[in-house]
């Protein structure tokens, strides 16, 4: 009976680690797909030009795949070093997630201030050589969210040194419509529009975060039980 229990624990570890690895494959696949299909869509940030959604998903997916692979191989081969490395890495990521969420809520006002300042700095690169991704990103955001500028449409006045905005700010798009009367432009701030959209989809984001956390906890639990029963010799 003890041997069957240990075998069941080992299979449980393999199953949860496999789920973890498959989740990493899925995230990596979405990141690669975004990178291929939306190659010109880059981050809006000027200080972190490589921090695009595609690159972020690729990095996260790769890390999850490596950790999941360590767990799977370690459980199958009953390798104590591999499983110990897996356990430490997964526990470290779990604590980093908790720390990041805590810091986000504690310093939310400072984060908002920094983000708005960084986005306004990025406006200065709009339409310049070598910044096609940032330019396309602003055009897509302003068109899809029906907004203009970071805090309001006057943010663009400093960019152009004139009372004009990009054509993507227009209620009805046409060439050089950003030179027309301000009554034909979107006036809603993009930063607030995107924040509102995130808050509207907050439930889905929390469900995703909860599922991720539960997967990590379930993956850790068999390891702890197995170690306690000396399955890993």
Query: Are residues 57 and 31 in contact, defined by beta-carbon separation less than 8 angstroms?
Result: yes
Multiple choice CATH, 110-193, 3.30.1490.190, 1.10.1450.10, 1.20.1740.10, 3.40.605.10: 1.10.1450.10
Please enumerate in sequence order all residues whose Cβ is within 8 A of that of 7, keeping only pairs 6 or more positions apart, or say none: none
Confirm whether pTM is higher than 0.75: no
Return the residue matching tokens 């767990």: 71
Please report the pLDDT score of residue 208 as a whole number.
62
Give the residue with greater pLDDT, 207 vs 57. 57
Residue 156 has pLDDT above 90, yes or no: yes
Lowest mean pLDDT among 14-23, 100-109, 223-232: 223-232
Please give the residue that has the higher pLDDT: either 196 or 231.
Answer: 196
Neighbouring residues of 67: CB distance < 8 A, sequence distance ≥ 6? 20, 24, 86, 89, 90, 93
Structure tokens at 31: 């990141």
Please say if the pLDDT value at position 71 is more than 80. no
pLDDT band at 2 (very low <50, low <70, confident <90, very high): low
Distance between CA 206 and CA 200 in Å, rounded? 11
Closest C-alpha among 26, 27, 21 to residue 66: 21
What is the 3-class SS of 135-201, one letter each residue?
Answer: HHHHHHHHHHHCCCCCCCCCHHHHHHCCCCCCHHHECCCCCCHHHCCHHHECCCCHHHHHHHHHHHC
pLDDT of 207: 66
Q: What is the pLDDT of residue 211?
A: 63
Residues 173, 169: Cα–Cα separation, whole Å: 8
pLDDT score of 205 more than 90: no
- pLDDT of residue 115 exceeding 60: yes
Token output for 225: 């039980």
Confidence of residue 77 (pLDDT cuts 50, 70, 90): confident
Tell me what pLDDT residue 162 has.
85
CA distances, 109 to each of 105, 113, 117 (Å): 9, 6, 12
Q: For the ranges 7-11, 141-145, 178-182, 196-200, which has the lowest average pLDDT? A: 7-11
Domain ranges of the chain: 2-108+203-228, 110-193
Q: What is the pLDDT of residue 150?
A: 92
Beta bridge partners of 185: 170
Q: 170 forms bridges with which residues in the sheet?
A: 185
CA 7 to each of CA 10, 44, 75, 83, 233: distance values in angstroms, whole numbers, following the listed order: 5, 51, 11, 16, 13
């Amino acid at each position: 009976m003890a041997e069957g229990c240990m075998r069941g624990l080992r299979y449980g570890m393999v199953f949860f680690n496999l789920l973890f690895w498959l989740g990493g494959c899925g995230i990596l696949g979405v990141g690669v797909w975004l990178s291929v299909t939306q190659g010109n869509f880059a981050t809006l940030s000027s200080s972190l030009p490589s921090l695009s959604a595609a690159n972020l998903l690729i990095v996260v997916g790769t890390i999850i795949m490596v950790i999941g692979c360590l767990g799977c191989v370690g459980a199958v081969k009953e390798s104590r070093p591999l499983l110990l490395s897996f356990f430490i890495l997964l526990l470290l990521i779990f604590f980093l997630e908790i720390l990041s969420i805590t810091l986000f809520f504690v310093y939310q006002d400072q984060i908002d201030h920094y983000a708005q300042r960084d986005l306004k700095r990025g406006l200065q690169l709009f339409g310049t050589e070598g910044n096609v991704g940032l330019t396309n990103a602003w055009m897509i955001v302003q068109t899809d969210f029906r907004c203009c500028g970071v805090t309001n449409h006057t943010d663009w006045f400093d960019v152009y040194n004139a009372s004009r905005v990009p054509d993507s700010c227009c209620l009805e798009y046409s060439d050089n419509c950003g030179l027309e009367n301000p009554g034909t432009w979107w006036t809603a701030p993009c930063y607030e529009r995107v924040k509102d959209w995130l808050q509207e989809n907050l439930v889905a984001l929390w469900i995703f975060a909860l599922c991720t956390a539960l997967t990590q906890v379930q993956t850790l639990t068999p390891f702890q039980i197995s170690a306690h029963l000396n399955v890993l010799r």
